[in-house]
Structure formats: structure tokens, C-alpha cells
Amino acid sequence: MNTVLNPTIAAITWRAMVGRRRALLLLALPAVLLLFAIVLRATGVSDAEVSEGVLGAFALGTLVPLLGLIIGTGVISPEIDDGSIVYVLAKPLSRPTIVLTKLIVATACIAVFAALPTLIAGLIMAGNEQGLAVAYGVGTLIGGIAYCAVFILLGVVTKHAAVAGLIYALIWETLIGGYVPGARTLSIQQWAVSLTSALAADGAVTANVRLGVSVTLLVVVTVAATVYAGQRLRSLTLTDQE
Amino acid sequence: MTAIEIDRVSRWFGNVVAVNDVSMSVGPGVTGLLGPNGAGKSTLIHMMAGFLATSAGTVTLDGVPVWHNEAVYRRIGLVPEREAMYDFLTGWQFTLANAKLHGLPDPGAAAQRALETVEMTAAKDRALGTYSKGMKQRVKMAAALVHEPAVLLLDEPFNGMDPRQRLQLMALIRRMGADGRTVLFSSHILEEVEQVASHIEVVVAGRHAASGDFRAIRRLMIDRPHVFLIRSSDDRQLAAALIADPSTASVELDGRERALRVHAVDFPRFVAQLPRLAGEHGLRLYEVAPSDESLESVFSYLVAS
């Protein structure tokens, strides 16, 4: 059964993601973004420049890495931690299909909780002036998918996926990426910025990494992480007490 | 006829050996995997279920390796020890999902049949999170049975169940074995195993200690030397009487405990002789306590023999 998506796994994963308290967590950040946008609009200070600043720093810089982390690890880590994944794994299913299904559900979550709110926040603040709202919407979606692919892999290879993911997002991308320009070449966030910059009007968004490099790395990282996670899932070991 | 062959299997974690050169063949009928906690039972079951690689040796199902072979799950049903399921699903949704994941042609009918088998149809519309331990165990069983597997592996299925649930599950497991399935379950309680299993494999400290039907295993356990601590009205006189009887190998006057430590080699004769000898010599027995009755010592005796 080598299909792209297993509907049963997708349905259970989706329910696990949006059914419980985690949904509130997922809603909190985009709610803050939208509220912020509404306040800026209402007070009349929002224009294209302000919108770019908010979307760049908050949507792409904070919302997407954090949601990517919560969603990417959330679609697979809890099942591995509590052992319930055994009911999925003890089936004649291709392991890559399982990982791909998880990634597709994660993508849907990113679209709903990150990309869509970003687009709407952009539209509220400055319409689609300079193409910013749409560009950031697409940038957050594509960047979010890459984050999820990496964090799903982390969820499969380590029990400390959330911590490892936080270290990557906070220490590497934000801290080191902030001081060491070279580190930005290996930053999902910067690749997404570069993609956003290409989609927005010329000069509206400043990119630190060239578009060709960014797109290539986004694709390579997403595909490689997903393929490798599928392989690692084949060897997932359930013994934890001995 | 379906058989799991475990051939010279070892498994170590770092420098801890969990399973040490075990070979066994598990065929149709109910097999009990008996051993104290930490003996390597779960490790063995995980290797049989394809969820753990062996460090050495092979595990095969009718000649086909189970590790890295997802196709074996068409023929294996696994009931894991851990409780975690998808608590937000109802029993019905969970069982149906398992049937769908197997790609069965009629998952609804299969789920219904499995829930009927474990007698869980009445509570099937309640969320798993609200189930008692015994109900969870039965739904786990239903999930493992949806595809009518030839092999059923159960890791400590009786843990934490109340006596009634235990009896129900025992009857169910017996029925599975009578149907011709290859059923293996692990337990650390001899009474549990001998009530259900026609064949018993004993593992202790990662090693395969004994194999046979429950009568053979029970005899091994009863016939081992027993140590008793005895207090009486005259320990020295009782000691003299006991050592004269062939049922004992040694008698020690334990000054600190102020008691006799008696090493009995013929258990049935010893328990018959002790009160008789005491009566003959006009002695009163204040205390007779087995001093090594823990399961650990029973098992370690089996390994040593």
C-alpha cells in the first residue's frame, strides 16, 4: 500500500491536533497577530511599512517557527512517547506513507493556523499593498512546511524533539543567525524570507539569502527530512523500560 | 500452521544483556512466557512483533524475518502492555480505525466481529479515556483481532485486572488457542500461566530457563530444595529428629534468629513428616515459614539447574 496519504491516520492525527487543549495553543498565537493587526488598523498607524515589519518579525519570525515546532512535533511525538503509535505501526503500511500523511496534516494545520492568519493580518493592516499580504501568506506556508518536515524527523529520531527544535529555532536561527550572517544561509526562516521577498514588490522585503539557494534548500530539506523520517520509522523501537 | 521461530537470539542495550542466547519455537495453541519482572519477556515479545532488532540471532514467522517486514502484520496481532491508546476515540472508532489501517475489505463488519468476540459491544460508543483497565485491555484485544491474525502476541495482558476481568480474559485467550491460533502471552505469575497455557516457556535474567507443559514446570518448581525457618518449643531436639529423616539435607541452629533453618530436599515428604515428628517427640511448633518462597528464588533455582 504505497499511497501518499492514509485517510485513517490523517483523520486521527487531525483530531489529536485540533481536538484538545493543543488547539487553544495553536489559536493563541494567530489570535495575537490578528488582534495586533486590528489594533494597528484601528489606530490608523498601519501602512505597508508597518505591515512588513509586523509580518516579518512576528508572523514569519515568531509565529511560524513556534507553530512549526508545536505542529511538527505534535503530529507524531506524543504517539511515540506514549506508545500508541504501535497501533499504526503494527499494520502492513508503508512507513513513508505514515510520515507523509503526518506532514500533510501538519501542512493543513500550518495553513489554517499560520498562513491564513498571516494573510488576513496583512490584508487588515495594508490591504495587499506591494503584494505583502499574499507574499507573506505564501512564505509562512512554505516555510512552515519545511519546519514541520524537520520537526517530524526530530520527533521520530529523538524523545527530546521539542527541546531540540527549540534550540534550533531560538539559538541557531534567532541568536546565531542574528549575529553571524553566514548562519542565515542555513536557516529555514531566512529561506522563507527570501521566497517572500521574491513574491512581494521589489524592495519591499529584504532577503539575506539568494532565491535560488533558498528554494533549492527548502525543497531539499523538506524532501530529505521526510524520506529519512520514513526510514527511521521502520526501525522504531518500542522498548523503553528495559 | 503458523510458528514463530526464535533462533539463538540475544539482545543487549549498551552493556546490559536483556535476552541471552534464547531459542524457542512457538506454535499453535496457547504458550505462556513466564518469568519475573525484568527477565526480558517484553524484549522477547517486542522482537517477535518486529518492534526491536535482535543483537544476534533471528526471529522468523514461518521462515520469514519479522524485523523490517511490515507485511508480517497481516498475520500478527499485538496487544501491547502500555495503556496508551487514542483516548479521544470511542471503542468503536478505535477498532474500526484498526480495521481500516489493515486495509480490510469490510472494516465495519470486521470491527463489529472483533468487538463481539471481546464482549465490548455494549460500551463501544464510549470514549476510550473513560474505560476501566479491563475494558481497555479488551478493546486492545479487539484491535489486535480485527484482521483475524494467525498469531496473537500479548504482553502482560493480566496486569492490573480484577479477578472477574482476569477470568474473562483467560477464557478468551483459551478460546483463541482452541481456534488453532498461535497465541503467546507473558506473565510473571505461575498460577495465571498454568490456567491458560498448554505450553510454558520460562525466562529468567534473559536466559531460557525451562520449557514444557505446566505439569513439568510445576514439578520443577515444587521439587526444588526449600528452606524453612522453624521455631518450636525445643529447637535442638527437633533438629535432631529432622536430620534423621531423609527429607532434609541440613539443619542449622540459627542463634541470632533463635530458630531452625532447615534445608528440605524432598518437599512433599518434608511437609508430611514435620508435624508427625514434632508430635512424636512432644514438641510444639510455633512457626514454620518458608524463607525463600519469592518468585525470584524459584526462578533462579530453575536457571541454576
Residue among A60, A57, A72 nearest A114 (CA): A60
For A217, residues 6+ apart whose C-beta sits below 8 A from its C-beta are A186, A191
Model pLDDT for residues A10-50, shown as the tens digit of each residue:
999 999 998 867 788 899 999 999 999 999 999 988 888 89
Cell of A212: 535560488
Q: What is the pTM of this model?
A: 0.86
Give the per-residue pLDDT at B297.
63
Do you know the residue count of chain A?
Answer: 242
Q: What residues of A are in contact with residue B53 (Cβ under 8 Å)?
A: 235, 237
* B142 and B216 share one domain: yes
Cα B136 to Cα B138: distance, rounded to the nearest angstrom: 5
Quote the DSSP letter at residue B120.
-
- CATH for B75: 3.40.50.300
**Smallest CA–CA distance from B81 into chain A, residue:** A83
Model pLDDT for residues B83-132, shown as the tens digit of each residue:
889 999 999 999 999 999 999 999 999 999 999 999 999 999 999 999 99
* B58 and B187 share one domain: yes
Model pLDDT for residues A212-228, shown as the tens digit of each residue:
999 999 999 999 999 99
Q: How confident is the model at residue B188 (pLDDT cuts 50, 70, 90)?
A: confident
pLDDT beyond 60 at B294: no
- CATH for B244: 3.30.70.100
Please give the single-letter amino acid code of residue A46. Answer: S
Last residue in a domain, options B202, B221, B240: B221
CA distance B53 to chain A (A): 8
Sign of dihedral through CA atoms B148, B154, B158, B161? negative
For residue B217, the SS3 value is helix
* Cβ pair B12, B18 in contact under 8 A: yes
Strand partners, B182: B29, B151
Q: How confident is the model at residue A242 (pLDDT cuts 50, 70, 90)?
A: very low
* Order of all β-strands in the sheet with B226-232: B248-254, B259-264, B226-232, B285-290
Cell of A168: 534550533
* B123 and B233 share one domain: no
* B217 and B229 share one domain: no
* B93 and B239 share one domain: no
Q: How confident is the model at residue B290 (pLDDT cuts 50, 70, 90)?
A: confident
Q: What residues of A are in contact with residue B71 (Cβ under 8 Å)?
A: 92
Arithmetic mean of pLDDT, B52-56? 95
Q: Cell 498461535 maps to which residue? A: B182
Cα B152 to Cα B30: distance, rounded to the nearest angstrom: 9
- Cα distances from B267 to residues B6, B225, B227, B284, B291, in angstroms, run 35, 7, 10, 21, 14
Last residue in a domain, options B166, B188, B221: B221
Neighbour tally for B289: CB within 10 Å: 11
CA distance B85 to chain A (A): 5
Number of domains in chain B: 2
pLDDT beyond 70 at B231: yes
* B170 and B237 share one domain: no
Cell of A217: 534548500
Partner-chain residue, chosen from A6, A86, A88, that has the shortest CB–CB distance to B80 = A86
pLDDT beyond 60 at A241: no
Chains A and B: how many Cβ contacts under 8 Å? 90
A18, A87, A232: best mutation site toward chain B, by most B Cβ within 10 Å? A87
* B18 and B160 share one domain: yes
- Cα distances from B131 to residues A12, B119, B162, B170, in angstroms, run 19, 14, 14, 20
* B29 and B100 share one domain: yes
Model pLDDT for residues B11-32, shown as the tens digit of each residue:
999 899 999 999 999 999 999 9
* B165 and B229 share one domain: no
Residue among A159, A173, A54 nearest A117 (CA): A54
CB spacing of A90 vs B86 below 8 angstroms: no
Give the per-residue pLDDT at A37.
94
Q: What angle do CA B39, B42, B43 make, to 5 degrees?
A: 85
Cα A23 to Cα B62: distance, rounded to the nearest angstrom: 46
Quote the DSSP letter at residue A174.
I
* B159 and B184 share one domain: yes
Model pLDDT for residues A125-144, shown as the tens digit of each residue:
988 889 999 999 999 999 99
Partner-chain residue, chosen from A83, A90, A234, that has the shortest CB–CB distance to B68 = A234
Residue among B193, B187, B185, B133 nearest B164 (CA): B133
Give the per-residue pLDDT at B121.
94
Give the per-residue pLDDT at B300.
63
Among chain A, residues having any CB pair with chain B shorter than 8 Å are 1, 6-9, 11-12, 15-16, 19-20, 82-84, 86-95, 234-239, 241-242
* B118 and B73 share one domain: yes
C-alpha dihedral (A25, A27, A30, A34), degrees to nearest 10: -130
Average pLDDT taken over every residue of chain B: 90
Last residue in a domain, options B176, B200, B221: B221
Q: Cell 514435620 maps to which residue? A: B274
CA distance B68 to chain A (A): 6
By DSSP bridging, strand B285-290 and strand B226-232 are antiparallel
- Cα distances from A48 to residues A143, B280, B298, in angstroms, run 22, 108, 80
- Cα distances from B58 to residues A193, B12, B50, in angstroms, run 51, 14, 11
Least confident of A127-131, A213-217, B224-228, B246-250: B224-228
Give the per-residue pLDDT at B301.
64
* B133 and B70 share one domain: yes
* Domain coverage including residue B192: 4-221
% of chain A with per-residue pLDDT over 90 = 76
Cα A228 to Cα A224: distance, rounded to the nearest angstrom: 6
CB spacing of A15 vs B46 below 8 angstroms: no
Quote the DSSP letter at residue B126.
S
B12, B17, B51, B136: best mutation site toward chain A, by most A Cβ within 10 Å? B51
Cell of B237: 531436639
B70, B72, B89, B148: best mutation site toward chain A, by most A Cβ within 10 Å? B70
Arithmetic mean of pLDDT, B193-220? 85
